Amino acid sequence: MTFFLVSSAIKVFVVFNVIMVGVALLTLAERRICAWMQDRLGPNRVGPQGLLQPAADGLKNFLKEETYPAQADRTLFTLAPLISFVPALLTFAVIPFAAPLPTPWGVVPMVVADLPVGFLYILAISSLGVYGIVLAGWSSNNKYSLLGGLRASAQMISYEISMGMSTVAVLLLAGNVTLTRVIAQQQQGGWFIISLTLAFLIFFISALAETNRLPFDLPEAEGELIAGYHTEYSAMKFSMFYIAEYSNMVTASALMATLFFGGWDIPFTHWDDTGDPSVLKTLATLAAFGAKTGFFLFTYIWIRWTLPRFRYDQLMALGWKVLLPLALGYLAVIATAIWYLHAQLGWVYGIPFGLALGAVNLVLVVAVVWWLDRGRIISASTAEVA
């Protein structure tokens, strides 16, 4: 019990600090990548290559004056950033980030809390963050903030259903909601990106909307709502919303890597999941997991500086008229395919099973792309202007 408590405390401390430092560097990475895409330099004067720019920004926010609107509800106005900030950090606790680490006192699983309901925990805790956004909009006593909070709540409700439905297919193949088991199943029969391609696309689009990133950043649309729900915030309370947003990006990227790209599994080899645990395996799998998560974080940034923002009616139409029916129909098709391969043909999950499901997904993806490409699905997207 002592070993478990000490190892858990160390993991909590390390993971929390890595996320906080990573979020700070992610803000710098976004500004540098944005500058690279726009053929300019970006921040490069504070420290070598601008590496100390996040520290300078953090110091500035610590020293700035805290302001409160005259008619704001001070209690809820202060609590709202915390309510948004804490769930963003808690959600990473159940994601395995490396192979188990051997120590003289026993093997330590590289996950803060290996819950038997890990994925359900992520869906439950991540949903709490919207309460902070809604309370921030309401307690500010500002019409722009209130509209931003209402938009955020409507957007999260609309896309969280599709996100949850898309991951039911993962649970059908894995047979378990523990993320460690999901990774083990992919190590046996191939990554789920092949056998559940359409589920990944639905999950990816929904994750963009859940994290309020472009082209789904309607809750803080600068051209319409100034800054949305954090219009009235300043200093560190303002920064906490950004820390929560970038922490949610990290969690969503890590979740995509875990559910569909094998998590910490190293491709084209079984060296990492066979034999006795070793420090080398832990470090190699940690690097593989970091590379996959970093790829999705880069994709987040790439999309932000490439695509324009949706109109609000288009955002709602995409969620309710496209993604939700698509997720429900896909579940019916993929469940039937899994039942036929397993119950009728007697196959167990492996490479042939995954390739057969991959062929089904290829047909579905082609059909869905053709269906959406007609340009008449998302309401008013091709309407003629009088």
Is residue 132 over pLDDT 60? yes
Percent of the chain with pLDDT over 90: 17
**366: Cβ–Cβ under 8 A, 6 or more apart, which residues?**
none
Residues counted in the chain: 386
Per-residue pLDDT at 297? 93
Instruction: Kindly state the average pLDDT of the residues 96-103.
Output: 88
CA angle in degrees (0–180, nearest 5) for 245-286-202: 45
The confidence score (pLDDT) of residue 386 equals 47
Across all residues in the chain, what is the average pLDDT?
Answer: 85
pLDDT of residue 305: 86
Rounded distance, CA 203 to CA 219, Å? 20
| Residue 92 structure tokens | 């990473």
Are the C-beta atoms of 162 and 206 separated by less than 8 Å?
A: yes
pLDDT at 295 over 90: yes
| 8 is a domain residue | no
In this predicted structure, the answer to whether residue 381 has a pLDDT above a threshold of 70 is no
Per-residue pLDDT at 385? 47
- Domain assignment present for residue 248? The answer is yes
What's the confidence (pLDDT) of residue 253? 93
Tell me whether residue 41 is in a domain: no
Asked whether residue 43 is domain-assigned, the answer is no
At residue 219, the pLDDT reads 66
Pick 201 or 210 by higher pLDDT.
201
Q: Which of 77-91, 213-227, 244-258 has the lowest mean pLDDT?
A: 213-227
Pick the more confident residue, 153 or 284. Answer: 284
Domain-embedded: residue 2: no
Asked if the model's pLDDT at residue 218 lies above 80, the reply is no
The residue with greater pLDDT, 311 or 320, is: 320
pLDDT at residue 373, as a whole number: 65
Does residue 83 surpass a pLDDT of 70? yes
Please indicate, yes or no, if residue 59 is contained in any of the structural domains: no
Distance CA 54, CA 28 (A): 6
Q: How many domains does the chain have?
A: 1
Q: What is the pLDDT of residues 316-349, one digit of tens each?
A: 888 888 899 999 999 999 999 988 888 888 888 8
For the segment 221-250, the average pLDDT, to the nearest whole number, is 78
> Dihedrals φ, ψ of 152, to 5°?
-65, -45
Whether 139 maps to a domain, the answer reads yes
User: Is residue 379 predicted with pLDDT exceeding 60?
Assistant: no
The stretch 137-152 carries a mean pLDDT of 81
In whole angstroms, what is the distance from residue 368 CA to residue 103 CA?
49
CB 331 within 8 A of CB 165: yes
Q: What percent of the chain has pLDDT over 70?
A: 94
Q: What is the mean pLDDT of residues 229-253?
A: 84
Distance between CA atoms of residues 194 and 200, nearest Å? 9
Interior angle at CA 347, CA 342 and CA 351, nearest 5: 120
Q: Tell me, yes or no, whether 204 lies in a domain.
A: yes
What angle, 0 to 180 degrees and rounded to 10, lies between the N-to-C axes of helices 235-260 and 197-210? 180
Q: What is the pLDDT of residues 22-48, one digit of tens each?
A: 888 898 999 999 899 888 888 888 888
**What residues make up the domain containing 92?**
69-261+276-372
C-alpha to C-alpha distance for 367 and 339, rounded to whole angstroms? 22
282: left (phi over 0), alpha (psi -120 to 50) or beta: alpha
